[in-house]
Amino acid sequence: MKPSLAKGTRDFTSLEVSRRKYIINILQKNFELFGFQPLETPSFENLSTLTGKYGEEGDRLIFKILNSSINEAKEDKKTQMLTDFQKALDKPFSAESFTDKALRYDLTVPFARFVAMNHGKLTFPYKRYQIQPVWRADRPQKGRFREFYQCDADVVGSESLWQEVDLVQLYLKSFAELKVSVTIHINNRKILSGLAEYAGITDKLIDFTVALDKLDKIGKDGVVKELLERNISKESIDKLDFLFNQSNDALENLLQLKEKFVGNEIGLKGVEELEFVITQSLNLGVDIQNLVFDITLARGLDYYTGAIFEVKADEAQMGSIGGGGRYDNLTEVFGVKNVPGIGISFGLDRIYLVMEELNLFPEEAASNVEYLFANFGGEETSEALKLIIQLREKGISAELYPESAKINKQFTYAEKKGIKNLVFLGEEELKNNTVTFKNLEAGEQKTVSLEEFLNS
């Protein structure tokens, strides 16, 4: 059988794993600096937990798992169940009859489920971060995978808009440390609801936001076409035409909305909230160029109720590398009311691609071995292992070439593996209590005392 990968998945080499770990360590450090605590949830959830939370398009991308009752059945029963399943494929049937679990689509809904199950034990506001893989049955392309990592930070139990301001700070601090120049695009779901009311399409809010969310991909003409296909009238679309001609001044655009939203309570509330977040962020030193009011930003997830964020790299064509928003009603579907929440996510895989494209990974992001000890056999090998143990106790990576092979072969191994130094501990060195090592990057070789070597 020819080995192959499932479409939309990847293997990661040691260099890639080390670089991903470099990103994760910076994010994790900042999550904890901002007061977030770690949490992990299962890779799969009950199907009912996930469906109905991501909108029509999102639900179609959920990876469903074959009903566990089929897997647990006895062999003869399993055969019959699978036969029935095959027959069902040829006629209308409910997929849920054969699936009751699914791989998680994101980390937010499982988090809301966790909060609902444990709300009596948690201290609110509850701040958690989560770094785990998610799965989507999407069409693979550059920067879009079927298995990928999300790095989330969420706060539940607070309606304070200072949470939004703090999350802007978390984004900017983290990307600054990764040396990725970014722009945070921000909008408010209440503004989108206000626009729907302004255009007389309140009953088409979801259709409106789903189409608007595709602006970057299909352009204005594509959005207009999709709105028409979703039975939104040309008259309503014409009223919304100003959306596609915004100025670069966020506060000026908000002022324009205030004029259009006179008597529009939900729209004005959204403008007020967004104005607060932008103004306070600017007061804290955020450059207005890094925080952009994007009135067409919709993020097509049904659970958002307030602020919505999307982060884009300034120097690479990669789509969003982060996003999130406020979701004040998500735990209600699990029977727990009055637990407002807001969260943001960092797209690890896309951040990696951006940093790779821009050559932003530092040398220390690679986990190369510091010293390879040449194997001369006999007593020299035994003494080399004693020295290796001392280096490891100091936190210095070292290994012994496993066989007593020709020195050229050991050189080749070290170079291919990217090991920095090749160490020679032969008969002469043992007699003089010295160590000889060659820096393979600089091509320099020197002999030093054993004490100097251990303390260098």
In sequence order, what are the residues at sequence separation of 6 or more whose Cβ sits closer than 8 angstroms to the Cβ of residue 304? 189, 325, 326, 327
* Annotated binding-site residue? 299: yes
Q: Check if the beta carbon of residue 294 is closer than 8 Å to that of residue 187.
A: yes
Measure the CA–CA gap between 269 and 276, rounded to whole angstroms: 11
For helices 205-212 and 215-229, the axis angle rounded to 10 degrees is 150
Q: Check if the beta carbon of residue 178 is closer than 8 Å to that of residue 22.
A: no
- Strand 320-326 versus strand 307-313 pairing type: antiparallel
* Annotated binding-site residue? 107: yes
* Annotated binding-site residue? 19: no
* Annotated binding-site residue? 106: yes
- Strand 320-326 versus strand 291-293 pairing type: unpaired
φ and ψ at 247, to 5 degrees?
-80, 175
- In the three-class reduction of DSSP (H, G, I as helix; E, B as strand; rest coil), residue 144 is classed as strand
Q: Check if the beta carbon of residue 167 is closer than 8 Å to that of residue 36.
A: no
CB burial of 398-407 (b: ≥16 within 10 Å; e: otherwise) equals bbbbeeeeee
Measure the CA–CA gap between 147 and 138, rounded to whole angstroms: 10
For 259, the token pair is 């004029």
* Annotated binding-site residue? 150: yes
In sequence order, what are the residues at sequence separation of 6 or more whose Cβ sits closer than 8 angstroms to the Cβ of residue 88? 97, 98
Residue type, 318: M
* Annotated binding-site residue? 445: no
* Annotated binding-site residue? 105: no
Report the alpha-carbon angle 178-184-187, nearest 5: 155
Binding residues for L-histidine: 106-108, 136, 150, 154, 299, 303-304
Q: Which residues are annotated as a binding site?
A: 106-108, 136, 150, 154, 299, 303-304
